[in-house]
Structure 1
Amino acid sequence: MSALKLKLDQDQLVEDFFDCTHLVGIVSAARDYQLCWQLNKQLFYHFRVNNSLEIKLTKHQRAFYFTVFEFQEPTKSVSHYLYNNHCKAEFLLPELKNIDYLWLIKGDYYQLQDVKKLTEELRRVELVQLVSLLDLRDIKNKVNLIF
C-alpha cells in the first residue's frame, strides 16, 4: 500500500488569501502599540493585538515573531490587519526594508478610491512619517503575510 502525499498549492493559497485586498505601507518610528493607539484615537479604528495571528519566521536557526493587530468592521464585512514589518534585525517582507508597518485591508467593501482616501487620512496621523499604497504584484514574499 503506497502512502498518499498531499502537497499544499502555495500559489492558490496566496491567490485566495489576497483576493479582495489592499496593502498600505507605513513608515513610523513609533512602537506598534503606540501607532495603533494613535490610529484608534485619531481615525476611530479599534485595532487590538491578536496573539493568535502572530507570524513566526525561522531564519538562521532563530525564530522571529511579528506582531499583528486586527480590527473587524462587521457591518462592512471588512478586516483590517496591521503587521509589524520588523523583528530585531529581520523583516517580514525583506523587499520592503524601508517600510515599518503594513496595513492589509481584506474584504470587497473598500474600493481603490476608499483606500486612497485612507492613505490621505493616515498622512495626517502624528506618528506617521510616510504612507504608500503598495502593489501586491510587486511583493515577492507575500506568503509571509498569511497567518
Structure 2
Amino acid sequence: MTIHKLFIDDFEEVDYQLIAIHTTLDDFRIAYYINQKLPILLSKCKKDILIETDKQKTAFTHFNFEDEKKSVFWTLIENKKEISLLQKNNTVNLFDAQQEFTNTYYLLPELKKVDYFLKIEGDEKQINTISITNKLKTIDQVTTVYPVKKSQLKSKNNLIF
C-alpha cells in the first residue's frame, strides 16, 4: 500500500485583492457608479451567495464582471443583510399580536462596518489596488474605501463561492 503525502505548497491559493467600501447606496447604485469610474461592467448575478449562520441561511447579492483579456474577475458583494421576521406575541395586549424583529447578518462578521466588498481575482501584478481605491473614493456617496489584508480575515471561507 502506497502512502501519499500532501504538502500545503501543493495547493494553489487563489490570488485576489479585497477592497472594503463604506456607503449608504443600494447595491445596484454602487455597481452603477463603480462601472462609471472603472473600466468594468458589473452585472447582477441571478444566484445569490448562500451563507449559513446561526441555523439561518442568508443570501447575499453580488455583481460580476470577467475581463477575459487580462484574466481578471471582479465581484461586488454586499456585506450586510437585514432580515425581518414576524414573531407572534404570546402576551395579551391591545396592540398587534405580531411583532417584527430584524436580524443583521454579515458575510465577513469581523468587518461589520463595511457595506460592500470589491473582490478582484487575478494576477497581483495586473491589479493596482491604490489606483482602484483612489478612483472609488471619487464617488460622492462613498464614505471611505480601503484595501483589506487577507491575513486579518477569520471567515475568508465565505469568500469562496
Query: Normalising TM by the smaller chain, what interval?
Result: 0.7 to 0.9
Residue of structure 1 aligned with 2:51, choices 48, 57, 65: 57
Alignment match, 2:20? 25
Separation in structure 1 between the aligned mates of residue 125 and residue 75 of structure 2, nearest angstrom: 14
Per-residue deviation at 1:60?
Answer: 3.0
Query: After TM superposition, what 4+ stretches of structure 1 lie above 3 angstroms from structure 2?
Result: 109-112
Residue of structure 1 aligned with 2:151, choices 123, 128, 137: 137
Which has more strand, going by share of residues? 2
Secondary structure of the 1:125 match is coil
Deviations 1:26-60 (A, max 9, x none): 001001101001111233420011123x2112223
Alignment match, 1:97? 112
Is 1:78 the equivalent of 2:72?
Answer: yes
Identity %, equivalent residues: 28
- 8 Å contact kept, 2:37–2:136: no
Ranges in structure 1 where 5+ consecutive residues have no aligned partner: 1-11
Separation in structure 2 between the aligned mates of residue 20 and residue 99 of structure 1, nearest angstrom: 21
What is the RMSD of the two structures over their aligned residues, measured on CA atoms?
Answer: 1.8
- 8 Å contact kept, 2:23–2:115: yes
Per-residue deviation at 1:62?
Answer: 2.3
Per the normalisation by structure 1, the TM-score is 0.81
Separation in structure 1 between the aligned mates of residue 46 and residue 28 of structure 2, nearest angstrom: 13
Is 1:66 the equivalent of 2:60?
Answer: yes
- 8 Å contact kept, 1:84–1:100: yes
Ranges in structure 2 where 5+ consecutive residues have no aligned partner: 1-7, 83-103
Separation in structure 2 between the aligned mates of residue 32 and residue 122 of structure 1, nearest angstrom: 15
How many residue pairs were aligned?
131
Separation in structure 2 between the aligned mates of residue 45 and residue 75 of structure 1, nearest angstrom: 12
Alignment match, 2:133? 119
Separation in structure 2 between the aligned mates of residue 41 and residue 111 of structure 1, nearest angstrom: 20
- 8 Å contact kept, 1:76–1:109: no
Separation in structure 1 between the aligned mates of residue 67 and residue 124 of structure 2, nearest angstrom: 10
Kindly provide the amino acid, as one letter, of the partner of residue 63 in structure 1: K
Alignment match, 1:9? none
Separation in structure 1 between the aligned mates of residue 14 and residue 50 of structure 2, nearest angstrom: 23
Alignment match, 1:3? none
Per the normalisation by structure 2, the TM-score is 0.75
Kindly provide the amino acid, as one letter, of the partner of residue 61 in structure 1: K
